[in-house]
Structure 1
């Protein structure tokens, strides 16, 4: 027969509950940075000083995924049109809202623009220090 414990939380060490908060924060950071599109969004926004339209952001991400430079969009024309549309839809409905919910970016629905917040810049700095 097992003994009955009236308060199981009393058996949890204090250090375990204190470290759970930082572990959760690290887990959320890794979840946000796990996707290459979200990383590309944060890196692009971190390099700009003003809000960026979702279309411009989708163009950048689509070109980066193809390995092309910014000026190459005129050269590829309609071949990239479907890809840009799919990227824009995924950014609009999945990636940018997820970043906005984590207070990493500011997403203005009316203007359809995105800008990085200070927490987003901090998250990128953490990523850069871990990859070096």
Structure 2
């Protein structure tokens, strides 16, 4: 996977969380994905749980899952989100970025830039 593609896909918290979840668990039923991510603290804000769930579900459906599918990282058959072989490459990038020494910011974008510069 090219650096620019990996960087773009990993630049968002939701997509990083989906990659990590699928790397650990494999295929996840579409109707369970939002709950599993919320259980990990992804998409949680001061809003009530119902609002968090709705906002995350909409963002995943309309933005993040299509981007991951277009990049060939996941397949989405409407029932389940399934990782492809490409997801392992992306998960490796994500894992490598976690080994970058902290800088003045904890933003993953800056850490990835520093690591792969």
TM value normalised by structure 1 = 0.65
CA RMSD of aligned residues (A): 1.8
Distance (Å, rounded) in 1 between the aligned partners of 2:60 and 2:83: 14
8 Å Cα contact 1:54/1:92 also seen in 2:
no
Residue 107 of structure 1 corresponds to which residue in structure 2? 76
Q: Which consecutive unaligned segments of at least 5 residues does structure 2 have?
A: 100-117
Matched, 1:121 2:98: no
8 Å Cα contact 1:106/1:116 also seen in 2:
yes
8 Å Cα contact 1:54/1:88 also seen in 2:
no
Matched, 1:62 2:29: no
Distance (Å, rounded) in 1 between the aligned partners of 2:30 and 2:56: 10
Distance (Å, rounded) in 2 between the aligned partners of 1:105 and 1:45: 9
Higher helix share: 1
SS at match of 2:81: strand
The count of aligned residue pairs is 95
Does 1 or 2 have the higher relative contact order (CA < 8 Å, sep 6+)?
2
Please list every run of at least 4 consecutive aligned residues from structure 1 whose deviation after the TM superposition is greater than 3 angstroms: none
SS at match of 2:82: strand
Q: Which consecutive unaligned segments of at least 5 residues does structure 1 have?
A: 1-21, 68-78
